[in-house]
């Protein structure tokens, strides 16, 4: 059984899925539905109604001591998913192991919610049902488990929800109601023709259930709206109203309906089991109730993402160690991880990727990276463009004195006075040229010295600046300076990688030993596009492998 790690924390199946092999050895009725897969694992075919029913009955017997009967032509509930709903209601009413009074609208043949609530917490239930077959089975299941003093099953007319069910019990205040409404409006929707996205895989389990259990006029949306309208009349007769939803798209319009009606307390949650997702909505008219927080919108980000990685084999690692030692990046006594990290830092500096070492486990190295611009793709094209621009730079004009002297030789004879003036002008121009050239040289030398000074200053700290010995195109160089200025504080020093406001992405790079090999992992933190991180990973890997070939 595929179970999702985001099930309710108290769900007993969250960390301990059912052991099919053990259950098959203990329950013969279940054993006939357990098969061995090609990998040798015991499996159950969830597309067989008999197998699903056998599993539900077996789990209820094994884990809750409940014995039930369910006809194949009626809805067969899955225990872990129904258990999620029970635990959430416990959170709503603070009813764990506490006596509470609730209503189950449309209890079904299994009567599973009242049976679980009564067995686990001693709750009193009023269970309503409109279908004759479901009513008979529900009553029988309550009686054979000796829970008639806690669970009362009542037959109600069609389309009866809360109002008619509570006509005779006007003095009782219920703590909650729960409902698993009919999800679909018609047969086509039930078969997934209109409601299921074509890109989704087909259902992994069979869809059982009678007409009244799976279909209602207007589907679940209209069904739950009717419960909302009943609640507007009953108000504080129930502390909490709740419903399960089969479609996420129903959640927003129902919350909007509650908002329009001025309902003060509203919350929702998610129920997960394998590939099956359900949603639940709850509302209250009481001011003193505690409202559980809905699931975070960033829940998916909490799921562990596989890092992008590559491995350097032992032979290549030894060559890279020698290269790092020869280049002065690390000493000969350094470990392979330290040497690879030093080479990676050198490459990242050349790429103008901000990086900083962060604490990590022993024998490993971790770098926190902040990429401000994409400098790792189209490198060859950029170098060619730089070379072309260097060739097209305007050359310095020839010396003015030489020009005048040449024209003097070829020109007609002039007087001595004119020659003296020409010599004087020639000397002045020559002096200006030399002065201009010296001034230019001094400016270039000063700029180079300033760059070297800044590089030495930055090398003394933990953070690595974006400056690089690799030339950049004029426009790119201006962009880099702009970004660097934006990420620089009052002191003129660049911020830490985590403090830059404008960036492409941030990631954590880990260098870890893998036996005699060395692995490099890149874990996504945040940013615009994960493809950029993948491109950087490819660039770093190729750079290291090329270095091995050159050693």
Q: Which residues carry a binding-site annotation for S-adenosyl-L-methionine?
A: 82, 106, 129, 180
**Which tokens sit at 14?**
């969250």
| CA gap 103, 120 in Å, rounded | 16
Put the strands of the sheet holding 238-245 in their side by side order. Answer: 151-155, 124-129, 101-105, 174-179, 238-245, 276-284, 265-273
**Which tokens sit at 441?**
């040289």
Which strand (E) or helix (H) includes residue 91? helix 79-93
Please give the angle made by the CA atoms of 541, 543 and 547, to the nearest 5 degrees: 115
| CA gap 324, 340 in Å, rounded | 8
| In contact, 195 and 189? CB cutoff 8 Å | yes
Please give the angle made by the CA atoms of 265, 268 and 271, to the nearest 5 degrees: 155
Query: In terms of Cα–Cα distance, which of 308, 302, 350, 257 is closest to 547?
Result: 350
Three-state SS at 238? strand
Query: How far is CA 79 from each of CA 115, 142, 215, 235, 452, rounded to the nearest angstrom?
Result: 12, 17, 22, 31, 69
Residue ranges of alpha helices (H) inside 327-415 are: 336-350, 379-391, 400-410
Query: In terms of Cα–Cα distance, which of 475, 526, 470 is closest to 497?
Result: 526
- Contacting residues for 306 by C-beta, under 8 A, at least 6 apart: none
**Which tokens sit at 7?**
């099930």
Which strand (E) or helix (H) includes residue 415? none
Q: Please state the residue numbers annotated as binding site.
A: 82, 106, 129, 180
The contacts found for 41-46 with CB under 8 angstroms, 24 or more apart, are 44/1, 44/20, 46/204, 46/205, 46/206
Q: Which residue has the tokens 């998610």?
A: 270
């Amino acid at each position: 059984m595929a179970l999702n790690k985001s099930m309710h924390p108290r769900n007993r199946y969250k960390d301990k899925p059912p052991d099919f092999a053990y259950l098959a050895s203990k329950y013969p009725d279940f054993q006939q539905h357990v098969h061995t897969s090609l990998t040798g694992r015991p499996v159950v075919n969830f597309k067989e109604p008999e197998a699903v029913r056998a599993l539900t009955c077996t789990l209820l017997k094994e884990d809750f001591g409940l014995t039930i009967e369910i006809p194949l032509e009626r809805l067969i509930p899955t225990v872990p998913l129904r258990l999620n709903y029970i635990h959430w209601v416990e959170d709503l009413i603070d009813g764990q192991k506490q006596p509470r009074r609730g209503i189950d609208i449309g209890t079904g043949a299994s009567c599973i919610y009242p049976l679980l609530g009564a067995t686990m917490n001693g709750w009193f239930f009023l269970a309503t049902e409109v279908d004759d077959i479901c009513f008979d089975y529900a009553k029988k299941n309550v009686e054979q488990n000796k829970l008639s003093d806690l669970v009362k099953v009542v037959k109600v007319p069609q389309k009866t929800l809360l109002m008619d069910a509570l006509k005779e019990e006007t003095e009782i205040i219920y703590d909650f109601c729960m409902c698993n409404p009919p999800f679909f409006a018609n047969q086509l929707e039930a078969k997934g023709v209109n409601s299921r996205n074509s890109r989704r895989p087909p259902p992994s389990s069979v869809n059982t259930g009678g007409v009244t259990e799976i279909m209602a006029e207007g589907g679940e949306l209209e069904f739950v709206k009717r419960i909302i309208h009943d609640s507007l009349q009953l108000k504080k007769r129930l502390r909490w109203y709740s419903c399960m939803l089969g479609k996420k798209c129903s959640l927003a319009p129902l919350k909007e309906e509650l908002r329009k009606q001025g309902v003060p307390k509203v919350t929702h949650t998610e129920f997960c089991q394998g590939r099956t997702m359900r949603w639940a909505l709850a509302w209250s008219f009481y001011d003193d109730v505690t409202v559980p927080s809905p699931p975070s919108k960033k829940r998916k980000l909490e799921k562990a993402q596989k890092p992008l990685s590559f491995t350097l084999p032992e032979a290549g690692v030894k060559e890279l160690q020698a290269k790092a030692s020869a280049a002065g990046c690390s000493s000969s006594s350094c470990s392979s991880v330290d040497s690879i990290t030093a080479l990676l830092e050198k490459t990242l500096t050349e790429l103008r990727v901000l990086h900083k070492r962060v604490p990590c486990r022993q024998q490993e190295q971790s770098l926190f990276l902040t990429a401000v611009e994409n400098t790792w793709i189209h490198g060859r094209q950029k170098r060619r463009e730089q070379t072309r621009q260097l060739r097209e730079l305007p050359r310095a004009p020839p010396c003015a004195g030489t020009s005048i002297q040449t024209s003097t030789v070829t020109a007609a004879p002039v007087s001595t006075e004119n020659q003296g003036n020409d010599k004087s002008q020639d000397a002045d121009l020559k002096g200006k040229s030399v002065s201009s050239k010296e001034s230019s040289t001094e400016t270039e030398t000063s700029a180079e010295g300033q760059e070297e000074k800044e590089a030495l200053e930055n090398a003394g700290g933990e953070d690595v600046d974006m400056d690089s010995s690799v030339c950049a195109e004029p426009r790119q160089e201006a962009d880099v300076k702009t970004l660097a200025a934006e990420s620089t504080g009052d002191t003129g020093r660049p911020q830490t990688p985590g403090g830059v406001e404008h960036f492409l992405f941030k990631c954590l790079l880990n260098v870890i030993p893998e036996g005699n090999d060395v692995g490099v992992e890149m874990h996504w933190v945040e940013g615009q596009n994960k493809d950029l991180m993948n491109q950087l990973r490819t660039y770093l890997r190729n750079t290291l492998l090329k270095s091995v070939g050159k050693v």
